[in-house]
Structures are given as C-alpha cells and as structure tokens.
C-alpha cells in the first residue's frame, strides 16, 4: 500500500516537472543544476585527483549540484568542471545533459593506459582520433555518417581545436604525444587479445570514454578534445597496474595548468 508521504512527494515532484523544460529536466536529473549554470567551456575529469587539481587553480568558484565553475587568472570567462563517471555509457549520459546547455568547448582531461612501445608512465596523450571498442558508440552511430571515415570504428577529434591545442603546447614547450586512442568498456578485462587488437588498429593508448564523446561532439555540434595522462601500461596478467610516479604527478599539474591557460588565452 502506498504511503501518504510517498503520494505527496510524487504529486509535488510531478507538478514541478510540468513547469520545467525538457532541457532543465535533463540537466536537473544528471547535473543537478539548471542549463544556465554551465558555461561555454567545460572540463570533464573522471578521477577525483584531477577534479581537485582543477578546483585548486580556479578562483571565485561557484558550486551548483554536481558541477562547479570558476575563473582562471585575470580572464573573467568562467570554466565549468563537470566530474563524470568512468565509462562510455556514463560519458554519453553526461554529454546528453551538456548538450542542453550553452557549452561549446568540451575537454576530457583524465587518465589512460599506454599501448605503444614509446609510451611512458606520465606521458601526455592528445587523441587525434578514437577507435570504437565500446558498446555505446555504435548505438549513436546510426545518427551520424562520417564524411572523413565511413567506418564508425574511428572517430576523429575536432580538427580546429586539435590544431590550436597542439600549436599552443608546442609554443609553450609542453611535451606530448599524438595518436589514436582505443576506447573499451571493461577496465579489468584488458586481455592480451584485446590489447593486440587495439595495437593492430594503430592505437597508442587505451581509455573508456573518448570514442563516445568524440562522436557525440559531432552529433551535437560541440568542439571536443580528449587529453590524457598515461597512468599505467596494461598487463594482461594484472587486473590493476596503476603506477603513480613523480613524472606522472608533475605532468598532471602541468596538464591541468596548461589546459586552463589554453582555454583562457586562446579561445
């Protein structure tokens, strides 16, 4: 039997929803804020360590629901930080919510695994394209036919944003590597066969979100770029091969700082 309390809660909840736009419903459910709370520039980290580093570098921080935004240095344009949950399904949900806002530039800044022989722990990887090894991207690909590559397995980054960031990093003498990133679903199932498959596609790194955020960036007309720090070299014999060394920590600080500088000074 339904309690009186539950009846009151459901009545007023549905009453409130009637007065909300579809955009507000989605952002309220996922981000717990109004669409207007999200700025033009969005950074999406996954791990708490990077969320904290962004928060420490922003001033005049305003928190709304699951997000916060602030200013960097003397630039008044706010930057929104939206922590997301690991994996392509979760990334798709957040991208759907962000699409209801005024966000135009979206940066995924997080960790990835290294695949190529020349990749080291702590390397900064800019993904110029993502190879779909996840189960979420194909669901959306029927809505999008790439003129660059008809095989949905490879989704390209926004060319202009990629070019601008590379130029900025080069001007700032920031070392980075550029290449394909393979997006997978199961962090603890990076088997020998899967890793060989990713390498055969030409991937230099592996993550769990880039494929879907690149595809949805194109579908939603957003400029999206994925920049990651190599946190581990996947080993089929080990479920968790994270290796936090001093180079990785130093480059995390550099990456966070330089992404904020790029947004503030170049966009």
* CATH number, domain containing residue 172: 3.40.50.1580
- Find how far residue 208's CA is from the centre of its chain: 9
Give pLDDT, residue 74. Answer: 76
What's the rounded Cα separation, in Å, for the pair 26 and 99?
10
Cβ neighbours of 117 (radius 10 Å): 8
77 phi/psi in degrees, rounded to 5 = -65, 120
Does 8 fall in a domain? no
Does 162 fall in a domain? yes
Does 12 fall in a domain? no
Does 4 fall in a domain? no
Question: Residue 73 is part of which domain span?
Answer: 21-266
What's the rounded Cα separation, in Å, for the pair 189 and 224?
27
Instruction: Tally the domains of the chain.
Output: 1
Does 7 fall in a domain? no
For residues 64 and 32, the answer to whether their CB atoms sit within 8 Å is yes
What's the rounded Cα separation, in Å, for the pair 146 and 130?
13
Of 130, 102, 128, whose CA–CA distance to 209 is shortest? 130
pTM above 0.75, yes or no: yes
Give pLDDT, residue 25. Answer: 78
Give pLDDT, residue 145. Answer: 63
Does 133 fall in a domain? yes
Does 53 fall in a domain? yes
Residue tagged 């603890």 (tokens): 188
pLDDT tens, residue order, the chain (267 aa)? 567 666 555 554 554 555 556 667 789 889 999 999 999 999 999 999 999 999 999 999 999 999 999 999 877 789 999 999 999 999 999 999 999 999 999 999 999 999 999 999 999 999 999 999 999 999 998 766 655 555 558 899 999 999 999 999 999 999 999 999 999 998 888 999 999 999 999 999 999 999 999 999 999 999 999 999 999 999 988 877 777 899 999 999 999 999 999 999 888
For residues 140 and 258, the answer to whether their CB atoms sit within 8 Å is no
Does 10 fall in a domain? no
Question: End-to-end CA distance of the chain, in Å?
Answer: 57
């Amino acid at each position: 039997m339904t309690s009186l309390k539950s009846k009151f809660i459901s009545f007023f909840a549905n009453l409130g929803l009637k007065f909300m736009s579809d955009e507000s419903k989605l952002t309220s459910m996922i981000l717990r804020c109004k669409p207007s709370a999200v700025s033009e520039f969005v950074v999406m980290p996954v791990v708490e360590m990077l969320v904290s580093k962004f928060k420490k570098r922003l001033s005049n921080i305003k928190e709304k629901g699951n997000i916060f935004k602030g200013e960097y240095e003397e630039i008044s344009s706010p930057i929104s930080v939206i922590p997301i949950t690991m994996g392509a399904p979760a990334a798709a949900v957040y991208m759907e919510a962000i699409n209801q806002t005024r966000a135009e530039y979206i940066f995924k800044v997080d960790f990835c695994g290294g695949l190529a022989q020349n990749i080291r722990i702590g390397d900064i990887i800019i993904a110029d394209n993502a190879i779909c090894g996840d189960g979420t991207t194909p669901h959306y690909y029927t809505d999008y036919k790439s003129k660059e590559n008809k095989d949905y397995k490879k989704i390209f980054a926004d060319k202009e944003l990629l070019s601008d960031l590379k130029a900025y990093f080069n001007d700032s003498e920031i070392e980075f590597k550029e290449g394909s990133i393979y997006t997978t679903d199961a962090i603890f199932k990076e088997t020998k066969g899967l890793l060989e498959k990713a390498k055969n596609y030409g991937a230099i790194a592996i993550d769990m979100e880039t494929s879907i955020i690149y595809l949805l960036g194109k579908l939603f007309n957003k400029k999206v770029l994925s920049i990651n720090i190599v946190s581990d070299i996947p080993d089929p014999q080990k479920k968790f091969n994270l290796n936090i060394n001093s180079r990785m920590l130093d480059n995390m600080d550099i990456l966070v700082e330089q992404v904020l500088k790029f947004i503030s000074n170049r966009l």
